[in-house]
Chains A and B, each alone.
Chain A
Amino acid sequence: MKRLVLLLALPLFSFAVNAKDQLHLYNWNNYIAPETVKRFEDACKCEVVQTYYSDNEELLAKLAAGAKGYDILVPTSNAMQSLIKGGQLKPIDKTQLPNLKNIDPAYLKTPFDPDNKYSVPYAMSLTVIGYNDQKIKELGLPTDTWAVVFDPQHLQKLKGRITVLDSSSELFAAALKYLGYSANDLDEAHWKQAAAVIKKAKPYWAAFNASSYIKELTVGNIWLVHGYSNDFFQANLDAQAAGRPFHILHGLPKEGAVLAVDNMVIHKDAPRPDLAHKFMNFMLEGKNSAELTNLIGSGNPNKDALKYIKPEILKNPAIFPDKAMLSKLEQLKDLTAAQRRVRNRMWTEIKAGR
């Protein structure tokens, strides 16, 4: 009998011995280069287990309900604010992050986490204009201003060939910027002006599209898009790979744009905070951070990474904005419940109106 128990317990036991240390990374899909993961696994003699989300709200909902088991999360700044407020994060121990010095100070101590008590920046993207260079040149349209998205004078040439993001916060931010206000402007009168601008432009837009514009651009159905900088990078890669006669380029509006920074944070119930810190420090190394930029064309707040980044990406101002532009970029802040109600009402009106 004793032997039988031993026999049954044996596989369990051997499993426990074989089980490698694991780091659980809850990340966006395709948001870390496979070779980077491999190198980290070799260095820490552990296994990186990734789970993906496709929306900050998904992450928030799941953690709010009490899910645990994740070590590192990569939320966007405003979602991180909710996580901090909800007490979901563990403070980081900066003595374990000597590479933190590599981060450009412009991206540290933001209002979202003033002392970087919980977070370090990971990568970023800009909400800009992406366009088909051939078509836009033929039409003679500007690409350095939000006017091309909102001004009917330009739009009449683009009717049915332009899409905007299906997101009230992004679209209002662009319209507010176009009007010369802050993207985080809270004045209801300004919101009304922005809504009016959007309503006037809407008949010219082909769609509110947040998910398939990469494909529409590469196929050539859509010529100009309000969307994310790394998506346009992907669209151009796809267009070139498919042998298209045109390029998908970035247009950086002179009025300014929305900047979205994703941050690494540690969950409060992280099973392995030690590995989490190791991973953070590893990703703050220039070379590792640069691999992500080279893969997906994301912006990079890491000064040490610049020398590893492909020159054609580095010189793209919509991925690496210069000082002057940087001052016009804004990260979106969360709205209060009351503000969100007002905004939602306007958004419903916009989307339902003909």
Chain B
Amino acid sequence: MRRRPVALWTAAFAGYAFLYIPLVIVVVYSFNDSRLNAEWVGFTFGWYDKLFHNEEMLTAAGNSLLIALVASAVSTLLGTMAGVAMYRYRAKLLSILVLTPIAIPEILMGVSLLIFFVMLNFTLGLVSVALAHIAFCIGFVAIVVRARLAGMDESLTEAARDCGATPFQAFMHVTLPLIMPGVIAGALMAFTLSIDDFVITFFTAGAGTVTLPLQIYSMIKIAVTPEVNAVSTLLMLLTLALIVIASHLTPSLLRSD
């Protein structure tokens, strides 16, 4: 093994500590037998028990998951198509159209989507939130996919075409497997963006539609209880599981090639 300078290791350690210590604290305090997130009192599963009996919180978490799954699936499909089109046809206008939702401040997008839905007389609810999330996730997926395509050897697709593949076959059997890590990374990104979005969700959610971020935010005024830590811990586990599964499906996802 090559020796790396100590400074590099220290910097890396500090960087990771900064990223992960807050998360560890959240997890640890979800097992703390006190309403205050302030000092360690004793170990308990009480908050998880409370969480599983808290219908509101569970509904909110369920809604968030459902929306995130739908939004990431649809936006991955559309975003990948957009990314490929942007790369292949170098269409300026398309890039602008796809990427604008990323650059627009969220609050502006939230308000304009709300006004748009109201104008169409579209009932606000889970569907309107999912549509809004798809709208802002497409751009992120498209960027990642296009970046992956830019690093791909074009001659591979050409070789497939020379061997008699139709454009569709060449895409499915050669291009898509090669850009798969990008597609999966895009999907994961869309999933996380959707599950923690507050601003756009706030404006596009209708009466009675609650997602996890909306629920937690409304609790801030009356002090966040460790139930929130518990639900966050479960979400972290889920995200971790998703990453593990994704990296098993495409081993190159976690490799830096």
B180-188, B203-211, B228-236 - the one binding chain A: B203-211
A86 at the interface (CB under 8 A from B): no
* A67–B118 touching, CB < 8 Å: yes
Q: Which of B39, B203, B209, B223 contacts A238 (CB 8 A)?
A: B223
**What's the minimum C-beta distance from A140 to chain B, rounded to whole angstroms?**
27
Q: Which of B35, B205, B207, B214 contacts A49 (CB 8 A)?
A: B207
* A51–B37 touching, CB < 8 Å: no
* B118–A218 touching, CB < 8 Å: no
A: number of interface residues (CB 8 Å): 33
* B118–A66 touching, CB < 8 Å: yes
Q: Which of A50, A54, A69, A214 contacts B206 (CB 8 A)?
A: A69
Q: Which of A28, A53, A211, A238 contacts B35 (CB 8 A)?
A: A238
Q: How far is the CA of A30 from the CA of B216 in the complex (A)?
A: 12
Chain B residue numbers with a CB within 8 Å of A26 are 207
**What's the minimum C-beta distance from B164 to chain A, rounded to whole angstroms?**
42
Chain A residue numbers with a CB within 8 Å of B218 are 28-29, 52-54
A65 at the interface (CB under 8 A from B): yes
Within A185-224, which residues are at the interface with B (CB < 8 Å)? 211-212, 214-215, 218-219
Chain B residue numbers with a CB within 8 Å of A296 are 222
Q: How far is the CA of A24 from the CA of B205 in the complex (A)?
A: 13
Q: Which of B111, B124, B209, B223 contacts A214 (CB 8 A)?
A: B223
Q: Which of B41, B118, B203, B221 contacts A54 (CB 8 A)?
A: B221
* A51–B205 touching, CB < 8 Å: yes
Within A19-52, which residues are at the interface with B (CB < 8 Å)? 22, 24, 26, 28-30, 49-52
Chain A residue nearest to B205 (CB atoms) is: A51
* A67–B223 touching, CB < 8 Å: no
* B208–A241 touching, CB < 8 Å: no
Q: How far is the CA of A65 from the CA of B118 in the complex (A)?
A: 8
**What's the minimum C-beta distance from B226 to chain A, rounded to whole angstroms?**
12
B21 at the interface (CB under 8 A from A): no
B247 at the interface (CB under 8 A from A): no
Q: How far is the CA of A231 from the CA of B220 in the complex (A)?
A: 12
* B124–A67 touching, CB < 8 Å: yes
B: number of interface residues (CB 8 Å): 32
* A234–B222 touching, CB < 8 Å: yes
**What's the minimum C-beta distance from A20 to chain B, rounded to whole angstroms?**
12
Chain A residue numbers with a CB within 8 Å of B87 are none
Chain B residue numbers with a CB within 8 Å of A52 are 210, 214-215, 218
* A69–B215 touching, CB < 8 Å: no
The answer to whether residues A69 and B124 also contact, given A58-B202, A215-B37, A242-B36 and a CB cut-off of 8 A, is yes
**What's the minimum C-beta distance from A21 to chain B, rounded to whole angstroms?**
13
The answer to whether residues A215 and B36 also contact, given A30-B222, A62-B114, A234-B223 and a CB cut-off of 8 A, is yes
B123 at the interface (CB under 8 A from A): yes
* B221–A215 touching, CB < 8 Å: no
* A242–B35 touching, CB < 8 Å: yes
Q: How far is the CA of A304 from the CA of B209 in the complex (A)?
A: 34
* B34–A51 touching, CB < 8 Å: no
| Contact code string A174-186 (vs B, CB < 8 Å = 1, else 0) | 0000000000000
B12 at the interface (CB under 8 A from A): no
* A238–B222 touching, CB < 8 Å: no
The answer to whether residues A29 and B111 also contact, given A51-B207, A52-B214, A218-B36 and a CB cut-off of 8 A, is no
**What's the minimum C-beta distance from A75 to chain B, rounded to whole angstroms?**
15
Chain A residue nearest to B215 (CB atoms) is: A52
B217 at the interface (CB under 8 A from A): yes
B242 at the interface (CB under 8 A from A): no
Task: List, sorted by A's number, 7 A–B pairs whose CB atoms are closer than 8 Å.
Answer: A24-B207, A51-B209, A54-B218, A67-B118, A67-B124, A69-B124, A219-B36
Cβ-closest 4 pairs across A and B: A69-B207, A52-B218, A66-B118, A49-B208
Using a CB–CB cutoff of 8 Å, the interface residues on chain A facing chain B are 22, 24, 26, 28-30, 49-54, 58, 61-62, 65-70, 211-212, 214-215, 218-219, 231, 234, 238, 241-242, 296
